[in-house]
Structure 1
Amino acid sequence: MFSYQNLHQFTQHIFQSIGCSAEDAKLATDVLLSADLRGVDSHGVARLSGYVRLWEAGRINAAPDVRVVHETPSTAVVDGDWGLGLVVAPKAMAVAIQKAEQVGTGWVSVRNSNHYGIAGYHAMQALSHDMIGLAMTNASPLVAPTHATERLLGTNPIAVAIPAQEQPPFVADFATTTAANGKLEILQRKNLEAPTGWIQDAQGNDSVNPHELKAGGALLPLGGETGSHKGYCLGSIVDIFSAVLSGANYGPWVP
């Protein structure tokens, strides 16, 4: 058992050791540990080693020049310069909030970024401004279309946060697949089987093997056997909003 303070200090140190500034390292740590505090273990500190591996592979710029490359009064495109999504996304959300304060709504699309932790953290940044927050992202292709085997989309989560005055805010944060890939990683570490309906093998057959993706299998869209076309459409919408609008990689071309 680790205290939040000790875990925060350790995680921030790791981010700084790969070249993040103290400010960015703290921000990335805040985002990452917010998942653990909300009980979303699949997207918390358990993912820290994954970010280090991305940095080692040259896919993360620890000192990015995050900048707005196109904007209107209510919209913007942010180039993340391949920085940590944990850092780029909050900065993009700050731009959206600023625009909403000025003209009533703010929409920002991001390109050249990476995995940004739980989508809910970013949507919830709007709550303290008494605004509705919306955050979504595409991801590496691990999901096959309904009745297909080729992996074309990511888990492509959506998060919405809505203030409710004196009551707790409404917060929805979910993948557009039956389960996020991080849930499989937890099962792998615990040597447990996956529930039926989460994944399929490379031939399109149902599987309960959490290692199936390594053998060419795929995650299944939200909606189950008779409704997964709806989940796949939701994932496609996220892909268009997140990547096509910003000029980022989309669909099977996401690294």
Structure 2
Amino acid sequence: MGKRYDYQAIKQWVKRIYDAYGFSENDSAIIARSITATDLYGIESHGVQRLAMYDRKINAGDIKVDAVPEVICETPVSAVLDGHKGMGQLVAGKAMRLAIEKAEQSGVGIVSVRHSNHYGMAGYYAKMASDKGMVGISATNSNPFLIPTYATQPFLGSNPLAFSMPAQPHSFLFDAATTVVSLGKIEVYAKRGKTVPGAWAVDESNEISKDAKKLRKNLSAAPKIGGMLPVGGKGEKNGGYKGFGNALIVEILTSILSQGHLSADLGSGTVKGISHFFTAIDLHLFGDPGEISESLSVMLERIRNLPAETGEKIYIHGDKEAAAFEDRLKNGILIDSETVKEMAEISEQLHIPYQMYL
């Protein structure tokens, strides 16, 4: 399963890695904070587990260390940002900060992004807005993983959508892929030698497979072998067309609005660059923000207190993340041995001493 490691030590280790790549002190700190905060929230698929992928992309030139994101189209309430293949966490952070600034001035800010990279946890950016007392929305496309209903090859990405809004005792935070799970979760299962517990993806024969290592290998190939199922699964009986439709909406908000690359065209050849979408909405547009937030808090508490199945507890989106955050901040973040090995190998290549962080 892995071991617990001190959050501050791991964050410092990650920062030193990005310092060594050539990022500025400030940018390295932003990247390290975003990546390790994801582990604090218990989203292990998108935290330090992703360092090996980022390392490959930096070395291949797919992530440009010296990239400067550029606003190429702008109004008082909107903007299109070209990431110029920069580190996704940096491009996304700038885009959401711009959306928040516009919302502070005009009530709403909408920023679409093209030519970026994997940005980690979608909810991290939505929560940037809710931390400012606003509604936050974040979405991204990705390499092609999702097989549309009745198709036999992937076309859309895992295309997650996140939504956050201020509430008590913590913000409401929904963050989910439009595939049954993200690729990162399959990678975590493969690293831990675990079998996939559900109908998450299909193999080269379009048959559901539960072999995590095989699925990781197939989905890392170019072109992809097999693919991932939309929320609702194969066909229409359990609503798979709904997950497919939600993935299409994310694709429209990201690649179409920004005029970036479609998920279908990424992941092989020379076409590179992921697209994102961010929105910040000032609650003052609808009345008193405190009253609106209180109404949300009361509703969520009513749901938590509904009669539950025997032995079960009702959770609201964000509850588990908030609990994980408190636990891991105090007791350390959980990292599997394969990921620690990957981090050590990256450090050795960059001539960074790392034993003091373990």
Secondary structure, counterpart of 2:5 in structure 1: coil
Match of 1:143 in 2: 146
- Residue 241 of structure 1, aligned match among 250, 253, 263: 253
Aligned residue for 1:214? 217
Q: What is the 5 A alignment of 1:33-112?
A: 33-112=36-115
Deviations 1:45-96, CA, capped at 9 Å, x for gaps: 1111111110011100112111211001100001111111011101000110
Give, as a single letter, the amino acid of the residue that structure 2 aligns with 1:223: G
Normalization by structure 1: what TM-score? Answer: 0.96
Q: Percent identity?
A: 39
The structure whose RCO (Cα within 8 Å, separation 6+) is larger is 2
SS in 2 for 1:132: strand
The 8 Å contact of residues 21 and 63 in structure 1, kept in 2 or not, is answered as: no
CA distance in 1, matches of 2:198, 2:97: 40
Secondary structure of 1:8's counterpart equals helix
Equivalent AA in structure 2 for residue 197 of structure 1 = A
CA RMSD of aligned residues (A): 1.2
Q: Deviation at 1:37?
A: 0.4
Check if 1:154 corresponds to 2:157. yes
The answer to whether structure 1 residue 8 and structure 2 residue 8 are counterparts is no
Shift of 1:186: 0.8
Q: Match of 1:163?
A: 166
Deviates more, 1:69-78 or 1:215-224: 215-224
Question: Distance between the aligned counterparts of 1:11 and 1:97, measured in 2?
Answer: 27
AA aligned opposite 1:174 = A
Matched, 1:203 2:205: yes
Distance in 1, Cα, partners of 2:42 & 2:131: 21
1:194 alignment counterpart: 196
Query: How far apart are the structure 2 equivalents of 1:237 and 1:203?
Result: 28
Residue 142 of structure 1 contacts residue 213 of structure 1 at CA under 8 Å; is this kept in 2?
A: no
Give the residue type in structure 2 aligned to 1:178. V
Distance in 2 (alpha carbons) for counterparts of 1:108 and 1:33: 25
* Alpha-carbon displacement from aligned partner over 1:176-227 (angstroms, at most 9, x marks no partner): 0111100110111112211231011122111112222534111100113421
User: Who is 2:233 aligned against?
Assistant: 224
Residue 167 (structure 1) shift: 3.3
Shift of 1:142: 1.2
Letter of the 1:44 partner, please give it: G
The corresponding residue for 1:20 is 23
Aligned-partner Cα distance in 2 for 1:171–1:55 = 31
Matched, 1:172 2:174: yes
Aligned to 2:242, what secondary structure does the other structure show?
Answer: helix
Alignment partners' CA distance in 1, 2:96 and 2:198: 36
How far 1:6 moved relative to its partner?
Answer: 1.1
Give the letter aligned to residue 178 of structure 2.
T
Which one has a bigger Cα radius of gyration?
A: 2
Q: Give the Cα–Cα distance (whole angstroms) in 2 for the partners of residues 16 and 24 of structure 1.
A: 9
Alignment check: 8 A CA contact 1:149 1:203 kept:
no
Instruction: String of CA shifts for 1:3-49, please: whole Å, max 9, x gaps.
Output: 11110111001111111111111101111011100001111111111
Tell me, in whole angstroms, the C-alpha distance in 1 between the residues paired with 2:198 and 2:158: 17
- Whole-Å separation in 1 of the counterparts to 2:233 and 2:69: 39
SS of aligned partner of 1:63: coil
- The two structures have a TM-score, normalised by structure 2, of 0.69
The answer on whether the counterparts of 1:18 and 1:52 sit within 8 Å (CA) in structure 2 is no
60-69 or 206-215, which deviates more: 206-215
| Residue type of the alignment partner of 2:97 | A
Structure-1 separation of matches of 2:209 and 2:232: 17
